Structure 1
């Protein structure tokens, strides 16, 4: 195990569905600055627009390889996401693998660019005993389908640990699945198409299938408590962790009810009111607006609270318009079953 584990961030404006034509997303600089508070080596694979935000910046295009080109040639968009984004979410794994191999690193931590990190990853002892670590919730059923369907295939790499060997194996797996086992991937995609469900097959699905195939002990689930009663957060905007509705939640803002001690965040569980430390915070979707306030003041700022409330209302209306609410999904399922 290397003495220093690099924290890897991949952020290209063109790869971000939420960029909306902007050349920079301000939240990235908070991600980088927070990671550097705890870690010696933080690497950004980016583009010309974010070069100034990390002193260990590299042009992501310099790490394009034949392996990525091969994946591109076999990839098929089996989701409702825009094709460029659906393929782009796999890109970082291939770029980061090339970076590790060129620089003789044996392992790394990968974080999304909307994550705040509260951990020196080089000193995190559980990484010494696994090949890969990521975030897998217990429940893998779609709530609107029959019990036991297990088709969420949700393992998130928003914060993840890979050995270089593991990352090499995972990228091989992705190519092989699209090239030779599309029938397996279609099991999930067919359900999404049949019932008009948002989403489909993405990098979380492929990662879930791969880690499920590993021998016992090679995969570490970061949503489960470690020896210090600490976990990794997969979304500030959800009350769930490893279990559904696990943590105290501020409903009007749609965020976890965070507390702070010595600069570190924690939350109480709903069942048992147990104090649980978070080693990172992940600001998915509209909760990105809270990153500045949390980074600067360890609080949800008043401005962000108001904007998030308005965005939440707008998002709810959009869900209704596009038929994405749970009751509309259930109605689609009933109609499909009767047809």
Structure 2
């Protein structure tokens, strides 16, 4: 299958974090020839294995949204973080349309991809998009497959409507009043989006042909648990979760390492190919050397004095 026919993978991420070399290597191990578009700032431009895109070049919708955004968070913190969580969808919508993509797989920067995304394409061929539907009150987009670029435009419209429609003030107050932790986030927008276009959107966390997307390793009690997270059963470097209802093992296309679970990401790195292993080593060393140059320089200096 030629590179031009493969389903591209997209990630929008701000800043440089220790877990990115792991995410990139796992994507390229499971999807070696698939283009991986990493929309970020210049701090991540040196990574190999990605098609780095400066998201500032696709920021016009995001900039307009910032003018109407109203922050609703219980302790008043996380303004920049929550604003960007909304803006990333607008950035992606703008990029996808300008580049002419019709389908793709979207991941958060804390998602490890173990399955080839062409398998997901076959699963969701009858829908415009898959998102993660947690329960009646919550959805999120840590991993989403879309078959029509127009569905991203619909999501952008929902995001703007939340803050600009005649009913927006009442809607935001109603959403905020139901929060016991956190506040109004892009997860609320995705939940409204799922309800509004229920005939076009399916749920990626429900197994189809025994393949599913993890909704979050710290939050899915449908599966056997180990400590504070879903227990992973590895078979030939492929992750499975054990369903508590019937004991069946369900293959996970991705694992979402949200929150503090990112601190143990090395446990979830399952590389098969020499190419992916080499890529990881290069990116990991580059991150360390560029993130902490003075620390490494001092270590080298000490070693030279010992010789």
TM-score scaled by structure 2? 0.80
Is 1:169 the counterpart of 2:154? The answer is yes
In structure 2, which of residues 213, 216, 221 is the aligned counterpart of residue 235 of structure 1? 216
Q: What is the match of residue 241 of structure 2?
A: 267
Residue 142 of structure 2 aligns to a residue whose secondary structure is: strand
Structure with higher RCO (Cα < 8 A, 6+ apart): 2
Specify the alignment match of 2:300 in structure 1: none
CA distance in 2, matches of 1:58, 1:52: 11
1:94 matched to which residue of 2?
Answer: 90
2:223 aligns with 247
Partner of 1:143: none
SS in 1 for 2:269: helix
Does the CA contact (< 8 Å) of 1:116 and 1:281 recur in 2? Answer: yes
Partner Cα distance (1:215, 1:286) in 2: 32
Q: 1: distance between equivalents of 2:198 and 2:218?
A: 32
Q: 1:97 to 1:230 in 2, by over 3 A?
A: same
Q: TM-score, normalised by structure 1?
A: 0.73
Counterpart secondary structure, 1:136: strand
Match of 1:62 in 2: 57
Structure 1 contact 10–92 (Cα < 8 Å) conserved:
yes
Question: Any conservation in 2 of the 1:250–1:256 contact (CA below 8 Å)?
Answer: yes
Deviation readout 1:223-262 (Å, 9 max, x if unpaired):
1110x21111021123x1xxxx2111112xx121111112
Task: List per-residue Cα deviations over 1:169-222 (Å, max 9, x = no partner).
Answer: 110121122101321222121233xxxx21221101111111101152x11101
In structure 1, stretches of 5+ residues that fail to align are 14-23, 141-151, 299-339
User: Contact 1:232/1:281 (CA < 8 Å) preserved in 2?
Assistant: yes
Which residue number corresponds to residue 303 of structure 2? none
Q: Aligned residue for 2:305?
A: none
Give the structure 2 partner of residue 209 of structure 1: 192
SS in 1 for 2:154: helix
| Deviation at residue 272 of structure 1 after TM alignment | 2.1
Question: Contact conserved, 1:45 with 1:57, CA < 8 A, in 2?
Answer: yes
Aligned 8 A contact 2:134 2:215 in 1: no
Q: Could you say if the C-alpha distance between residues 121 and 199 of structure 1 is closer, same or farther in structure 2, counting changes exceeding 3 Å?
A: same
CA distance in 2, matches of 1:56, 1:72: 27
Shift of 1:296: 4.9
**Equivalence map 1:117-136=2 (5 Å):** 117-124=113-120, 125-136=122-133
Q: Deviations over 1:3-45 (max 9, x none)?
A: 32211111112xxxxxxxxxx3111111111112233111111
* Counterpart secondary structure, 2:206: coil
5+ residue gaps, structure 2: 273-307
CA contact (8 A) 1:79 1:86 kept: no
How far off its partner does 1:297 sit?
7.6
Quote the Cα distance in structure 2 between the aligned partners of 1:103 and 1:88: 22
Matched position secondary structure for 1:235: coil
**Two-structure CA RMSD over aligned residues (Å):** 1.8
Asked if 2 retains the 8 angstrom alpha-carbon contact of 1:3 and 1:122, the reply is: no
List aligned pairs for 1:1-339, cutoff 5 A: 3-13=5-15, 24-39=16-31, 40-54=34-48, 55-65=50-60, 67-80=61-74, 81-124=77-120, 125-138=122-135, 140=136, 152=137, 154-162=138-146, 163-180=148-165, 181-182=167-168, 183-192=170-179, 197-216=180-199, 218-226=200-208, 228-238=209-219, 240=220, 245-251=221-227, 254-296=228-270
